[in-house]
Amino acid sequence: MAAAGPMTGSQRRYPVVSARSLTKRYGRVTAVEDLTFSLNSGTVTGFLGPNGAGKSTTLRLLLGLAQPTAGDALVFGRRYRDLEEPMTKVGAVLESNDFHPGRSGRDHLRTLALAAGIPWPRVEEVLEFVQLAKAADRRVGTYSLGMRQRLGLAGALLGDPELLILDEPANGLDPAGVHWLRTFMRRFADRGETVLIASHVLAEVAQTADRVLIILGGRLVAAGALDELAGRSGTLENAYLELTATEAS
Partner 1 sequence: MTAQLRAELLKQRSTRTTLWLFSAMLGLVVLAILLHGFGLSAGILGRRSSQLAVLGQGQRLGTLFAALLGAVSITVEFRHGTIRPTFLATPRRGRVVAAKVGVSMLIGIAFGLMATAIAAVVGSTSLAARGLAIRLDAGDYALLLAGSAAGAGLWAAIGVGLGAVVRNQVPAVVGICTWLLFVEGLLFGDIGLSNVGRFLPGSLARAATGQDPLMLLAPSLAVPLLALYAAAAAAAGWAATTRRDVA
Name the minimum Å distance from CB 111 to partner 1: 5
Residue number with CB closer to partner 1 (110 or 200): 110
Query: Buried b vs exposed e over 56-68: b needs ≥16 C-beta within 10 Å?
Result: bbbbbbbbbebeb
The sheet with strand 194-199 has its strands ordered as 90-93, 163-167, 194-199, 44-48, 211-216, 219-225
> Considering only residues 104-163, where is the footprint of partner 1 by CB under 8 A?
104, 107-108, 110-112, 114-117, 155
Name the minimum Å distance from CB 145 to partner 1: 14
How many contiguous H segments (helices) and E segments (strands) does the chain have? 9, 9
Query: Buried b vs exposed e over 109-135: b needs ≥16 C-beta within 10 Å?
Result: bbebbeeeebeeebbebbbeebebeeb
Mark the segment that binds partner 1 (CB under 8 A) among 39-47, 57-65, 175-183, 186-194.
Answer: 57-65
Name the minimum Å distance from CB 26 to partner 1: 9
Query: Hey, which bits of the chain come out as E strands?
Result: 17-26, 29-39, 44-48, 70-75, 90-93, 163-167, 194-199, 211-216, 219-225
Mark the segment that binds partner 1 (CB under 8 A) among 11-19, 103-111, 170-178, 194-202.
Answer: 103-111
Residue number with CB closer to partner 1 (15 or 64): 64
Mark the segment that binds partner 1 (CB under 8 A) among 4-12, 87-95, 185-193, 207-215.
Answer: 87-95
Residue number with CB closer to partner 1 (111 or 183): 111
CA pseudo-torsion sign 184, 48, 94, 132: positive
Name the minimum Å distance from CB 237 to partner 1: 30
Residue number with CB closer to partner 1 (98 or 242): 98
Residues found near partner 1 in the complex (CB under 8 A):
60, 63-67, 80-81, 83, 86-87, 90, 92, 94-95, 97-104, 107-108, 110-112, 114-117, 155
